[in-house]
Amino acid sequence: MSDEVWGWVRAAKRIAVLTGAGMSAESGVPTFRDAQTGLWAKFDPSQLATEEAFRAKPSMVWDWYAFRREMIAKVEPNAGHKALADFALRYPGRLTLITQNVDGLHQRAGSRHVLALHGNIADDKWLDPPKACCNAAAAVAGSPPYCERCGNLLRPDVVWFGEPLPLRALAAAEEAARACDLMLVVGTSGVVYPAAGLARTSAGKVVIVNPHPSDLDDAADAVLRGTAAQLLPQLLED
């Protein structure tokens, strides 16, 4: 661990943290773009993570998300998730946690007010704007569940390619990036915008935690080549 970076953490009054799939890799959740193990090495995102794909093959897409939900329900937050949650508890108001992850592991580790830019895989929402008859609790079980009256389908409440990010979470993340003295960018390839762009608007120093090169390395003041579960506990300890 670099003493200089450790000093930046100690001195920072406002820390923004942007996490990606690598944050949860040591919990056993596959990333998207790692060459052998990433989900997008085995599956085509355009067939699974777009509204067009869901409308064309709702059962296939629903089942793929159901499989990921089951897998995520079986894993646990790792030491990196816990280090972030513990730091925020020790220093209320000092850390804003922004994540691209939909796995809910930050929240399960005890982090509150997580800005989940890409939604939450555990939640559902209606595919088409809900009518008065659309009641998720009364949806007919199926793959996917649907409204008995109008046939509207439930879908996972995640942001698919081509969809806008949740406005309030994005605005809060942009403000946190603009106002921070330090941004930690953990476990993201930095290729998906607008989330990746937050690192480029950071008012403060940018520190990357990633065992491999990422598209954001050129925006960094320091790059720490290690994993989230190894480095975050060291970086955030007192």
Residue whose CB is less far from ligand APR, 68 or 118: 118
Shortest Cβ 122–ligand APR spacing (Å)? 15
CB-based burial label for 93 (10 Å; 0-12, 13-18, 19+):
exposed
Task: Give the footprint of ligand APR on this chain (CB under 6 A).
Answer: 20-22, 25-26, 31-34, 38, 45, 100, 118, 187-189, 192, 209-212, 214, 227-228
DSSP states of 114-134 as a string?
-EETTEEEEEEEESSPP-TT-
From 81, 106, 113, 118, active-site residue: 118
Shortest Cβ 51–ligand APR spacing (Å)? 14
Residue whose CB is less far from ligand APR, 87 or 146: 87
Shortest Cβ 187–ligand APR spacing (Å)? 3
Residue carrying the six token digits 């941004």: 183
Return the amino acid letter for 71.
M
Residue carrying the six token digits 């690598």: 22
Task: Say if CB 10 and CB 182 are below 8 A apart.
Answer: no
Shortest Cβ 95–ligand APR spacing (Å)? 18
Over its C-alpha atoms, the chain yields an Rg (Å, rounded) of 19
Active-site residue, 113 included: no
DSSP E strands in the chain: the ranges are 15-19, 95-99, 115-116, 119-126, 154-158, 182-186, 205-209, 222-224
Residue whose CB is less far from ligand APR, 153 or 159: 159
Residue whose CB is less far from ligand APR, 32 or 65: 32
Positions annotated as catalytic residues are 118
